Amino acid sequence: MYASVIIDQDAKAIDRVFEYIVPDGTRVCAGMRVVVPFGARVVQGFVIEIKHDCSYDPSKLKKIISCPEDFAVIKPEMLELMKFMADKNHLKLASVLRLFLPSEMREGKVRELFATSCSLYEGEISLSKAAVKQQEIVNYLREVGSEKLTTLNEKFGAGAVKALFDKGFIIKEKVQLVRSPMSSVGQDKKITLNPAQQKVLDTVCEEGVYLLHGVTGSGKTEVYMHLIDRELENGKNAIMLVPEISLTPQIMANFKARFGDKVALLHSGLSAGERFDEWKRLYSGQARIAIGARSAIFAPLDNLGIIILDEEHDSSYTSESNPRYFTADIAKFRAKYNKAKLLLGSATPSVESYKKAKEGEYKLLELPIRANGREMPKIQIVDMIGEIRAGNSGMFSSQLLADLAKVVNDKKQAMIFINRRGYSSFMRCRDCGYIAKCTDCDVSLVYHREDNRLKCHYCGKQFKVPDRCPSCGSENIKHGAVGTERVVSELKALFPGVKILRMDNDTTSSKNAHQKILDEFKNSLPAILVGTQMIAKGHDFENVVLVGIVDADQSLYQTDYRSTERTFSLITQVAGRAGRSEDEGKVVLQTYAPRHYAYKFAANYDYKGFYKKEENIRQTASFPPFSRIIRVLFADSDENYVRDTLKVCYNEARLLKEKYAGQIIYMDAMKSPIKRMQNKYRYQILMRVKLDRADEIEKELFEICDKACKNSVFFEVNPQNLS
Ligand code: ADP
Ligand code: ZN
Ligand code: ZN
pLDDT more than 90, % of the chain:
54
pLDDT band at 246 (very low <50, low <70, confident <90, very high): low
Please give the number of the atom of ligand 1 that sits closest to the Cα of 216: 4
| Range with lowest mean pLDDT among 166-175, 215-224, 367-376, 702-711 | 166-175
- Of the two residues 426 and 396, the one the predictor is more confident about is 396
* Residue 438 Cα to ligand 3 middle (Å): 5
Instruction: Provide the 10 A C-beta neighbour count for residue 226.
Output: 20
Nearest CA to ligand 1 atom 15: 219
Q: How far is the C-alpha of 11 from the C-alpha of 468, rounded, in Å?
A: 51
What is the predicted pLDDT for the residue at 234? 97
| Range with lowest mean pLDDT among 128-137, 661-670, 697-706 | 128-137
pLDDT at 158 over 80: yes
Average pLDDT score over residue span 567-573: 92
What is the predicted pLDDT for the residue at 175? 67
pLDDT at 393 over 70: yes
In one-letter notation, the amino acid at residue 560 is: D
What is the predicted pLDDT for the residue at 177? 54
> Quick check: CB of 349 below 6 Å from ligand 1?
no
What does pLDDT average to over the chain? 88
Residues 52-106: tens digit of each pLDDT: 998 888 888 999 999 988 889 999 999 999 999 999 998 888 889 989 998 888 7
Residues 178-200: tens digit of each pLDDT: 555 554 456 677 789 999 999 99
Three-state helix/strand/coil letters over 533-549: HHHCCCCCCCCEEEEEE
pLDDT at 562 over 50: yes
Average pLDDT score over residue span 585-612: 95
> Quick check: CB of 250 below 6 Å from ligand 1?
no
Whether 243 contacts 174, CB under 8 Å: no
> Quick check: CB of 214 below 6 Å from ligand 1?
yes
The string over 287-303, giving b where at least 16 C-beta atoms fall within 10 Å of a residue's C-beta and e elsewhere, is: bbbbbbbbbbbbbbbbe
Average pLDDT score over residue span 633-648: 94
pLDDT band at 447 (very low <50, low <70, confident <90, very high): confident
- pTM summary value: 0.84
What is the predicted pLDDT for the residue at 423? 41
What is the predicted pLDDT for the residue at 392? 85
> Quick check: CB of 540 below 6 Å from ligand 1?
yes
What number of CA atoms fall less than 13 Å from residue 92's CA on the CB side?
A: 21
> Quick check: CB of 220 below 6 Å from ligand 1?
yes
> Quick check: CB of 372 below 6 Å from ligand 1?
yes
| Range with lowest mean pLDDT among 45-59, 413-427, 465-479, 594-608 | 413-427
> Quick check: CB of 191 below 6 Å from ligand 1?
yes
| Range with lowest mean pLDDT among 264-268, 322-326, 409-413, 471-475 | 264-268
> Which of 220, 222, 225, 374 is the pocket-test mutation for ligand 1 (most atoms within 8 Å of CB)?
222
Whether 284 contacts 175, CB under 8 Å: no
* Residue 189 Cα to ligand 1 middle (Å): 10
pLDDT at 572 over 70: yes
Q: Which of 91-95, 379-383, 542-546, 577-581 has the highest mean pLDDT?
A: 379-383
* Residue 617 Cα to ligand 2 middle (Å): 25
Classified as helix, coil or strand, 382 is strand
Q: How far is the C-alpha of 482 from the C-alpha of 554, rounded, in Å?
A: 9
Q: How far is the C-alpha of 410 from the C-alpha of 156, rounded, in Å?
A: 70
Average pLDDT score over residue span 498-506: 87
Average pLDDT score over residue span 640-664: 95
Give the closest residue to 110 by CA, choosing from 167, 36, 55: 36
In sequence order, what DSSP letters do the residues of 338-362 get, joined into one string?
Answer: TT-EEEEEESS--HHHHHHHHTTSS
* Residue 458 Cα to ligand 3 middle (Å): 5
> Quick check: CB of 300 below 6 Å from ligand 1?
no
Average pLDDT score over residue span 686-697: 96
Torsion, Cα of 124, 128, 133, 139 (10° steps): 30
| Spatial CB neighbours of 456, under 8 Å, sequence gap ≥ 6 | 438, 440, 441, 443, 445, 446, 462, 463, 559
| Range with lowest mean pLDDT among 2-11, 58-67, 654-663, 668-677 | 668-677
pLDDT at 231 over 80: yes
pLDDT at 438 over 70: yes
Q: How far is the C-alpha of 88 from the C-alpha of 80, rounded, in Å?
A: 12
* Residue 363 Cα to ligand 2 middle (Å): 46
Average pLDDT score over residue span 2-22: 89
Q: How far is the C-alpha of 484 from the C-alpha of 530, rounded, in Å?
A: 7
* Residue 512 Cα to ligand 1 middle (Å): 26
pLDDT more than 70, % of the chain:
93
pLDDT at 388 over 50: yes
Average pLDDT score over residue span 365-369: 96
